[in-house]
Amino acid sequence: MKKFSKDFLLGAATSAHQVEGNNIYSDYWAMEQMKNSQFVEPSGKAVDHYNKYEEDIKMLSDAGLNAYRFSIEWARIEPQKGIFDEKEIQHYKDVIDCCKKYNVEPIITLHHFTSPKWLIEMGGWENEEVVELFANYTKYVVENIKDDVNYICTINEANMRLQVKSLMERFMKQMMAKTGGNTPKISNVEQNDNSNDMEGQLQVGLNLSNPMEKMKLTAIENMQVFGDMNPHTFVSAAGETGDEIVINAHKAAKNVIKSINPKINVGITLSLHDIQCVEGGEEKAKKNWDEEFGHYVEYIKDDDFFGLQNYTRTVYDKDGIVPVENGVPMTQMDYEIYPEALEHVIRRVNKEMPNVPIIVTENGIAVDDDNIRCNFIDKAINGIQSCQQDGINILGYCYWSLLDNFEWQKGFALTFGLCEVNRSTYERTPKNSLTHLGKYAG
């Protein structure tokens, strides 16, 4: 086992909504409480990381890890438009101080999918006002933590809205095929037979298995809750200007951060598949890589680092995505176990942005068998070290995730974590994979 250098950021990641609990002012909390929610269960107390953060950070440090990527929850900081909660910003300052107490580098994410409910009621991530509003929130946060952090990710998986748009287009095309080319009617489309295959094409917990009747009722209830049948949350399909708004929000936040403390390293994260092709799929593969990554380069090529997030690969032929063959090992998220993808994506990103250092801000696997997780980690890290030997500047690796947590619409059933959490007592039980990852620390 080859160890990393002492200055390599080796750690794990979480996001606020998935671990903290009681995020009552957010759009996701509102959607989880709906009678016809697409969520299989509500987040509730999640894994109570809000109260147990010191225990969790100490556990990470005791395993030998030296970095912790976590997010600050906008809906806690600004529960009402223009009203900031001093108690909540102090909470995150305490988390940062706790990291330093245990010699852990905090890597902050300002937006990890969830938004204040009031923002979605204003039109959410299709309303250009979000750019200024996100900048104002960023200003408040960074003015309070400006001397305490070295790394800030502005937005998590900024390309997720495009990925959801692409997936929903494929989903509706499949629905129309079942109804003879007509718009799907509730009476003759009860459920998507291949919903698991569809869900596995996104690196986020999305639930497409509900009957169409429930989806219709959800839309009606959305109108009551948000004033819109299709609210523009961050994990909804992007409209014509949606992607541009996200990029502008990143740029505005970066400018704010640099104006307050130019020494802070600022980047963005993208969800990237290892996009491959077989004969006939070259154009489709090229088009999809440009959508996932290529078209962002001109906007992020001058960032201080790039947050690379990868879990698996996608293969294209002339007809589109090639289904994974029967018998191929799969994760609980219904995508292929393919740790080699990380090295491939790092090399491809570096080829297009050779001057931007990379932090692997997410890479992991949802499985029951922790031995499979350890093997996945070994292969992923071997890929990183191979890239480093070839001169690629990789600053760190954060496994997803530190804790088994709330995987969005999928609920708590999926186990990504390096640590198991008892859902009744919230007792932590570290897995072997936690110390296994720590053995690579310099």
Does some domain include residue 334? Answer: yes
Residue 114: CATH number of its domain:
3.20.20.80
**Can you give the pLDDT at residue 215?**
80
Among the listed ranges 143-152, 212-221, 282-291, which one has the minimum average pLDDT value?
212-221
Query: Confidence class of residue 200 from pLDDT cuts 50, 70 and 90?
Result: low
Q: Does a structural domain hold residue 27?
A: yes
pLDDT value at position 216?
A: 86
- How far are the Cα atoms of 117, 223, 309, 394, 439 from residue 3, in angstroms, in the given order? 44, 53, 22, 14, 7
Note the pLDDT tens digit of each residue in 214-234. Answer: 788 999 999 999 999 999 999
Report how far residue 263's alpha carbon sits from residue 277's, in angstroms, rounded to the nearest whole number. 41
pLDDT at 301: 98
Average pLDDT, integer, range 176-187: 51
Q: What is the DSSP string of 354-396?
A: TTS-EEEEE-----S-HHHHHHHHHHHHHHHHHHHHTT--EEE
pLDDT averaged over every residue in the chain: 93
pTM for the model: 0.94
Q: What helix, strand, coil percent values describe the chain, rounded to 5?
A: 40, 15, 40
Q: Is the pLDDT of residue 177 over 70?
A: no
DSSP string computed for 284-323: HHHHHHHHHTGGGHHHHTTSSEEEEE---EEEEETTEEPP
Q: 199 pLDDT exceeds 50?
A: yes
The answer to whether 163 and 202 are in contact (CB under 8 A) is yes
| C-beta separation of 161 from 242 below 8 A | yes
Q: What is the pLDDT of residues 290-312, one digit of tens each?
A: 999 999 999 999 999 999 999 99
Q: How far apart are CA 236 and CA 30, in angstroms?
A: 15
Tokens of residue 408, six digits: 């969005």
Distance CA 116, CA 340 (A): 37
pLDDT in tens, 80-117: 999 999 999 999 999 999 999 999 999 999 999 999 99
Which residues on neighbouring strands pair with residue 269, listed in sequence order?
Answer: 307
Give me the helix-helix angle, 341-352 and 370-389, nearest 10°: 30
Q: How confident is the model at residue 318 (pLDDT cuts 50, 70, 90)?
A: very high
Structure tokens at 24: 């009552």
Tally of structural domains, the chain: 1
431 Cβ contact partners less than 8 Å away, ≥ 6 residues apart: 370, 373, 417, 418, 419, 420
Confidence at residue 284, expressed as pLDDT on a 0 to 100 scale: 97
Of 232, 228, 227, 186, nearest in space to 210 by CA: 186
Contact 309, 362 (CB under 8 A): yes
* 173 domain residue, yes or no: no
Whether 59 is covered by a domain: the verdict is yes
Evaluate the omega torsion of the peptide bond into residue 401 and state whether it is cis, within 30 degrees of 0: yes
Cα separations (Å) of 277 from 165, 270, 287?
Answer: 21, 21, 12
394 and 354 Cβ atoms separated by less than 8 Å: no
Q: Predicted confidence band at 190 (pLDDT cuts at 50, 70, 90)?
A: very low
pLDDT value of residue 182: 55
Sign of CA dihedral 102, 106, 112, 117: positive
pLDDT for res 184: 44
Task: Tell me: pLDDT of 194 over 90.
Answer: no
pLDDT at 180 over 70: no
Residue 172 lies in a domain: no
From residue 291, alpha-carbon distances to 159, 253, 294 in Å are 8, 22, 6
**Assigned token pair, 143:** 């003015």
Q: Are 114 and 23 in contact (CB under 8 A)?
A: yes
Is residue 405 assigned to a domain? Answer: yes
User: Which carries the bigger pLDDT value, residue 187 or residue 404?
Assistant: 404
Q: Taking a C-beta distance cutoff of 8 angstroms, is the pair 361, 69 a contact?
A: yes
The answer to the question of residue 206 being in a domain is no
Residue 382 placed within a domain: yes
Percentage of the chain exceeding pLDDT 70: 91
Enclosing domain of residue 259:
9-161+233-438
pLDDT in tens, 399-441: 999 999 999 999 999 999 999 999 999 999 999 999 999 999 9
The stretch 361-377 carries a mean pLDDT of: 98
Residue pair 230/403 in contact by the 8 Å Cβ criterion = no
